[in-house]
């Protein structure tokens, strides 16, 4: 499985684990906070948090000795998932918010809503199918190479 999308998905674990990451971005750190927010069974929450810790997206820290209590903090790799998360917010808002937006990304100075786009940090150019494309990389296997040779 060389595809970075498949690998990324695999590391995040289950679909709804993204909501744990979301809550972590919102500042939640403790088991009971996540549980209250997500309203899921403790054993399921434990399993998802364990996956996120094993994949290096979150770190488990002891914050109380007696009784032992842990908090879950985003690692650098987890914080770096922010781009994916914001792209999801933007897409969700565009297509699945018929009654208006429940959350939005704004420019702090002007208070105006951000219109999210992707750019190339190197050139400063906004991403466009005319200027950019996905190609097989140096570690591509035969299957990947074949895929890109037939890309439209």
121-140 residues near a second copy, rule: CB under 8 A? 121-123, 125-127, 130-140
The CA-based dihedral angle spanning residues 84, 32, 56, 64, taken in that order and rounded to the nearest 10 degrees: 140
Q: Which stretch binds a second copy (CB under 8 A): 43-51, 58-66, 100-108?
A: 100-108
Q: Of the two residues 66 and 152, which places its CB atom closer to a second copy in the complex?
A: 152
Q: Cα separation of 19 and 132, whole Å?
A: 31
What gap in Å lies between CA 111 and CA 30, rounded to an integer?
31
Provide the minimum distance between the beta carbon of 99 and a second copy in the complex, in angstroms, as a whole number: 5
Residue 35 near a second copy by CB under 8 A:
no
Rule CB under 8 A: choose which of 46, 60, 69, 118 binds a second copy: 118
Q: Which DSSP state fits 57? A: S
CA dist., res. 92 & res. 5, Å (int):
19
Task: Show Cβ contacts of residue 118 under 8 Å, excluding neighbours closer than 6 positions.
Answer: 87, 126, 127
**For a second copy, the closer CB: 69 or 79:** 79
Rounded to a whole number of angstroms, the CA Rg of the chain reads 19
What's the rounded Cα separation, in Å, for the pair 150 and 6?
20
**With binding defined as CB under 8 A, does residue 85 bind a second copy?**
yes
Contact between 6 and a second copy per CB under 8 A: yes
Q: Is residue 5 a contact point for a second copy (CB under 8 A)?
A: yes
Q: Closest distance between a second copy and the C-beta of residue 53, in Å? A: 15
Verify binding: residue 142, a second copy, rule CB under 8 A: no
102 binds a second copy (CB under 8 A): yes
Binding of residue 77 to a second copy (CB under 8 A): yes
């Amino acid at each position: 499985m060389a595809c970075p999308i498949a690998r990324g998905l695999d590391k995040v674990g289950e679909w709804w684990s993204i909501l744990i990451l979301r809550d972590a971005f919102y500042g939640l750190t403790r088991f009971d906070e996540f549980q209250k927010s997500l309203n899921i069974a403790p054993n399921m929450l434990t399993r998802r948090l364990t996956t996120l810790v094993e994949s290096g997206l979150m770190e488990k820290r002891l914050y109380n000795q007696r009784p032992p209590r842990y908090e879950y903090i985003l690692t650098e790799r987890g914080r770096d998932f922010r781009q994916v998360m914001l792209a999801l917010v933007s897409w969700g808002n565009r297509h699945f918010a018929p009654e208006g937006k429940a959350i939005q990304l704004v420019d702090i100075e002007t208070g105006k809503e951000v219109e999210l786009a992707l750019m190339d940090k190197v050139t400063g150019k906004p991403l466009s199918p005319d200027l950019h494309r996905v190609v097989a990389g140096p570690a591509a296997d035969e299957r990947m190479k074949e895929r890109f040779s037939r890309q439209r």
